[in-house]
């Protein structure tokens, strides 16, 4: 297995404070890798740097050995590296179905020259519609197909975000706190879906505060603290690492 994602000496400062400080780690292809650390450790900022939402002050990011630092977020997404947000960013005044269709890649109907001429893109649209419906079934959201995304609960929005990125046939999915604010039943659903998708070959990098969940789900763990990597390895190793225990102040949770 090779490193599908390689973060190399990444740094980002905000007005004198180093949010991310000389951060280096790998994500192996086909794994579920957990990214944990106390609040303010720089996890979401790292996500933003990897996905092109922010530009790093220093360092590089490699996706499949290809340098992606400085590329625009849409470019990176089209390469197969996608993400969800801590607080879901669904399109509130569009339906659940439209939210999914939005993410359909390389849709000829999105080219302004072709858009007014339905026959030029209707076949693609129907194909994507089938795919969208399949994904909604897979995620258990089919009954909400025509509902405005703004009416969904927090947990449902998280699933919707996952559904959207799945439309893009991604290779790597970055999940930012998929469990936060989600009720226990939906949590189980989300975890099961992550496993199933992982078995189909999708690599996951998950930021999560729910220790029990992340430790049991992940193949690998990366621990961040004050913007840099404190430890990395299998969950059992990281669990016993004295630096990590110290960082978590007694580590009652682990």
Question: Would you tell me how many other CB atoms lie within 10 Å of the CB of residue 252?
Answer: 8
Of 203, 217, 194, the closest CA to residue 28 belongs to 203
Residue 169 vs 237, nearer CB to other proteins: 169
φ, ψ for residue 23 (rounded to 5)?
A: -95, 125
> Which residues, including other chains, have CB under 8 Å from residue 75's CB and lie 6 or more apart?
52
Residue 25 vs 97, nearer CB to other proteins: 97
The distance of closest approach from Cβ of residue 247 to other proteins in the complex, given in angstroms and rounded to an integer, is 28
Both structure tokens of 3: 């490193």
Residue 117 vs 234, nearer CB to other proteins: 117
Residue 29 vs 125, nearer CB to other proteins: 125
φ, ψ for residue 176 (rounded to 5)?
A: -100, 105
Residue 177 vs 220, nearer CB to other proteins: 177
Residue 122 vs 243, nearer CB to other proteins: 122
Of 169, 159, 7, the closest CA to residue 84 belongs to 159
The distance of closest approach from Cβ of residue 87 to other proteins in the complex, given in angstroms and rounded to an integer, is 11
Q: Which residue shows structure tokens 């693609």? A: 124
Of 250, 253, 83, 69, the closest CA to residue 162 belongs to 83
The distance of closest approach from Cβ of residue 101 to other proteins in the complex, given in angstroms and rounded to an integer, is 7
The alpha carbon of residue 1 and the mean position of all alpha carbons in its chain are separated, in whole angstroms, by 21
The distance of closest approach from Cβ of residue 76 to other proteins in the complex, given in angstroms and rounded to an integer, is 8
Residue 164 vs 193, nearer CB to other proteins: 164
How wide is the angle at C-alpha 86 spanned by C-alphas 83 and 88, nearest 5°?
Answer: 80
DSSP symbol at 252:
S
**Residues at the contact surface with other proteins, assessed by CB under 8 A:** 51, 53, 72-74, 77-78, 82-83, 85, 89-95, 97-98, 101-105, 107, 109-112, 115-118, 121-122, 125-126, 129-130, 132-133, 145-146, 148, 164-165, 168
φ, ψ for residue 114 (rounded to 5)?
A: -95, -25
Taking a C-beta distance cutoff of 8 angstroms, is the pair 69, 58 a contact? no
The distance of closest approach from Cβ of residue 98 to other proteins in the complex, given in angstroms and rounded to an integer, is 6
The distance of closest approach from Cβ of residue 193 to other proteins in the complex, given in angstroms and rounded to an integer, is 19
The distance of closest approach from Cβ of residue 127 to other proteins in the complex, given in angstroms and rounded to an integer, is 10
């Amino acid at each position: 297995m090779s490193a599908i994602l390689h973060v190399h000496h990444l740094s980002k400062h905000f007005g004198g404070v180093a949010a991310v400080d000389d951060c280096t780690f790998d994500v192996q292809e086909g794994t579920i890798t957990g990214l944990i650390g106390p609040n303010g450790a720089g996890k979401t900022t790292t996500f933003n740097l990897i996905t092109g939402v922010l530009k790093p002050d220093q360092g590089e990011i490699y996706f499949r050995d290809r340098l992606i630092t400085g590329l625009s977020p849409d470019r990176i997404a089209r390469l197969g590296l996608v993400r969800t947000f801590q607080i879901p960013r669904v399109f509130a005044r569009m339906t659940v179905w439209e939210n999914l269709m939005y993410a359909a890649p390389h849709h000829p109907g999105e080219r302004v020259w072709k858009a007014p001429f339905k026959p030029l893109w209707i076949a693609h649209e129907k194909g994507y519609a089938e795919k969208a419906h399949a994904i909604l079934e897979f995620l258990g959201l089919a009954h909400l197909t025509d509902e405005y995304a703004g009416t969904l609960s927090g947990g449902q929005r998280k699933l919707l975000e996952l559904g959207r990125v799945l439309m893009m046939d991604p290779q790597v999915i970055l999940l930012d706190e998929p469990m936060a604010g989600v009720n226990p039943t939906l949590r189980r659903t989300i975890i099961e879906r992550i496993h199933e998708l992982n078995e189909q070959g999708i690599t996951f990098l998950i930021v999560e505060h729910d220790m029990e969940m992340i430790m049991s789900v992940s193949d690998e763990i990366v621990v961040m603290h004050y913007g840099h990597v404190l430890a990395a390895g299998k969950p059992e190793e990281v669990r016993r690492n004295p630096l990590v225990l110290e960082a978590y102040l007694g580590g009652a949770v682990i």
